[in-house]
Amino acid sequence: MQTPYSKSAGPFKRTVNQVSIGIGEYFVSNQDVVIHTVLGSCVAVCMYDPEKKIGGMNHILMPSNPEMNKYDDSARYGINAMELLINAIMRLGGNRKKMVAKTFGGANMLKSISQENAVGSRNAEFVVNFLRAEKIKILGRDFGGHDSRKIFFHIATGEVFLKRVPSMRAILDAEQRKRNRIKEQLEEPADITLFE
């Protein structure tokens, strides 16, 4: 049995049957492993050969490398991350023509920036265009919004589980609304009961 393959910009955490990847990392395996990550404006692609049950996930920071003259093979940048993921799946025996994908992330974490100018939107657009150009079918996607996402990709089944995590701004806004309601209640005249 072949072992999982990974390359990362930093160390990844591994527990029993689970691998956590961060920005600029990817992990590929042909074993019963759950890969997980947390996304804001970054995008993750879960790619899978359903016949061979070989799959992996990457975590993309930017759609392209801004300094091509300082090129490296970092998975932080879209084109590198996609090629590294595909090639690693193929090294474990995956068939490029059978690969399918599910994609997530691309949140606009700063509400003051328009959706079309946000890096999350550019990341999502890059991934969709890349997969279409490579004729890799997209089985599912969840992009945009303002919340972070926790993604769990189960290689044995090809299933992806998503948990939304409200952004800090959303949490702060909700707390402020609650404080305002309490303040309004305290300012309302209280009922008075007189005892004889």
Q: Is 130 helix (H, G, I), strand (E, B) or coil?
A: helix
Which of 151, 102, 146 lies closest to 121, judged by CA? 146
Asked if residues 109 and 117 have their Cβ atoms less than 8 Å apart, the reply is no
CA distances in angstroms from 69 to 24, 65, 178, listed in the order given: 19, 9, 51
Which residue carries 């589980």 as its tokens? Answer: 161
Return all residues near 14 (Cβ < 8 A) that are at least 6 apart: 20
Asked if residues 39 and 59 have their Cβ atoms less than 8 Å apart, the reply is yes
Strand partners, 26: 7, 58
The active-site residue, picked from 28, 42, 86, 151, is: 42
Dihedral of CA 151/36/54/11: which sign?
positive
Return all residues near 175 (Cβ < 8 A) that are at least 6 apart: none
Which residue carries 């004889």 as its tokens? Answer: 196
Q: Is 42 a catalytic site residue?
A: yes
Q: Which residues are catalytic?
A: 42
